[in-house]
Amino acid sequence: MPDCRPNILLIFTDQQRADTIHAGGNSVIRTPNLDKLCREGVRFSSAYTPSPECVPARCSLIFGKYPHQAGCYSNAEPMPESADTFMAALSMAGYRTHGIGKMHFTPAATALRGFQSREVQEEIGMAGEHDDYRRYLQGAGLDHIYDLMGPRGEMYYIPQPAQMAAKHHATAWVGERSVEFIRQQRGGQPFFLWSSFIHPHPPFSPPTPWNKLYRAALMLQPHHVLDEEFLQTYINKVQNRYKYRDDGSDLNLLRMMKAYYYACISFIDFQIGRILGALEEVGQLDNTLILFSSDHGEYLGDYGCFGKRGMLNPPANIPLLARLPGRFEQDAVCDTPVSLVDIYPTILAAAGISPAADGLPGIDLAGLAGEHAAAYYGRTIYSQWNRSALGLYMALNRRFKYIYSAPDRREYLFDRRADPREERSRADVVFCRQDLRAMRESILGYFNAEGYTEPLESGGWKLFPQPVLPDDPDAGLLIQDPSWAEPYQVIPGYTNVEE
């Protein structure tokens, strides 16, 4: 008998904010293919990352667990060796599983983690000679390009046209390999494909002519608020130093950053159109669960900040779309809080698989957005970055967002209805004391029930020693040149000649 289970396609980006989809209310950006997914499926408008950093967010995604459950809190920590990933569950259940693009599986960049096969494309040489995209460029005679996704270090947040033509770009490579994989799946075996794009993670380096799709003069300035320094946590101030912004802001540069950031997203959207076209070509579009999301967002100058590692909406609120006729409604918006931890049960439920692990915090998105939506009306989700003295924590429901920053020993409370742009914290407003207490007790109670007591003490937050910002703004400058770039930094007859 033919296997009638749906195929599953997870399209994933890196560092994409939730407010970068035209159909989601952004009138500037062009995303016709993401708009198509919105029209033909559900857009989850209150989707949040379980951790605003690459590795812990992806760890939570593949294991269906919050950081404190998975034991991975930052990029500096390895993912657990457990085999309980949704890819492994799908492989065991008879799915053909394949991954293309950036996975950021630490500590082994080329690990399968339950996939049957992968085509590797990782940042800054993490996969070394095993990077399939790097080998592709070498085969195309482009081995002189050693900053494959654009120069980092001093150029990390400088908008820059890609060094290769659009057809050879990292984004196009993921799109092309995804199309080829789909066209090869002509048998009766259902497949799971994870198409994972490195962009719009910086450097913002779209290829020509996409770099001219948006013009700096037409971009809106970053979102600034009164007293925004109060909303910047310790890690924001450390990260801003890494982004070389201690000498002030150039508004033209900031508009240009947004223009190139948007261009990176539109170029991804173009590849999504190709991937959807391939599914339609082989007659599998309506038999494929399509999920689109990102690991975390990007400040992009809002609040005077750059990068990720924060719980305000720019880095914490992520896009999340779902399409499968008969399982998800069409042209629907769900404002119930959801998280990347919900993708694990959503994928397994669509495949008819019961999770091997009990007590997972996630919920099948189909049920949450469908007939059982009322049962989750009061749902609270959580997020965490790092731990101990650097810990940053969030609890969020429909009405409020609560943030606690351990290094600052400071609480924040935002009324999501009255202040959707998060311009004023109400944590110290006398009229909001009950709301603050309820949100604080929610996350403290959850951690206590989980047996996660590291950040807790005497019924409240543990007071760790407070770190101090370095006096030197150049301390710890972010330099991330790939290892194979070292020979290119020696120019024979010039740099190797003593003066």
pLDDT in tens, 54-74: 999 999 999 999 999 999 999
pLDDT at 484: 66
Task: Give the alpha-carbon dihedral of 126, 319, 432, 462, to 10 degrees.
Answer: -20
Q: Which among 1, 68, 4 has a CA at the least distance from the CA of 284?
A: 4
Q: What is the pLDDT of residues 168-184, one digit of tens each?
A: 999 999 999 999 999 99
Least confident of 146-160, 182-196, 275-289: 146-160
Q: Which among 242, 169, 243, 167 has a CA at the least distance from the CA of 205?
A: 169
pTM of the model: 0.95
Counting other chains too, the contacts that 251-255 makes at CB distance below 8 Å and 24 or more residues apart are 251/221, 252/216, 253/158, 253/159, 254/221, 254/222, 254/301, 255/216, 255/217, 255/219, 255/220, 255/221
One-letter identity of residue 97: T
Q: What percent of the chain has pLDDT over 90?
A: 80
Per the structure block, which two tokens stand in for 190?
């259902």
Domain limits, the chain? 7-385
Task: Please give the helix or strand (H or E) that residue 276 lies within, else none.
Answer: helix 251-281
Q: What is the pLDDT of residues 270-311, one digit of tens each?
A: 999 999 999 999 999 999 999 999 999 999 999 999 999 999
pLDDT at 327: 95
Task: Please give the helix or strand (H or E) that residue 381 lies within, else none.
Answer: strand 381-385
How many CA atoms does the CB half-sphere of 245 hold within 13 Å?
23
CATH 3.40.980.10 for the 7-385 domain, yes or no: no
pLDDT at 311: 98
Indicate the average pLDDT of the chain: 93
Residue ranges with strand state E in 247-316? 288-294
| Mean pLDDT, range 354-383, rounded to an integer | 85
Helices (H), 353-429: 365-369
Q: What is the pLDDT of residues 393-434, one digit of tens each?
A: 999 999 999 999 999 999 999 999 999 999 999 999 999 999
Contact at 8 Å (CB) between 442 and 402? yes
CA distances from 293 to 18, 151, 239, 285, 339 (A): 9, 26, 24, 18, 10
CA distances from 1 to 93, 322, 430 (A): 16, 28, 66
pLDDT at 357: 63
Chain center to CA of 319:
9
At 230, give phi and psi (nearest 5°): -65, -30
Q: Regarding predicted confidence, which is higher, 187 or 470? A: 470
| 98 beta partners | 117, 193
Q: What is the pLDDT of residues 36-51, one digit of tens each?
A: 999 999 999 999 999 9
Q: What is the pLDDT of residues 250-266, one digit of tens each?
A: 889 999 999 999 999 99
Chain center to CA of 308:
9
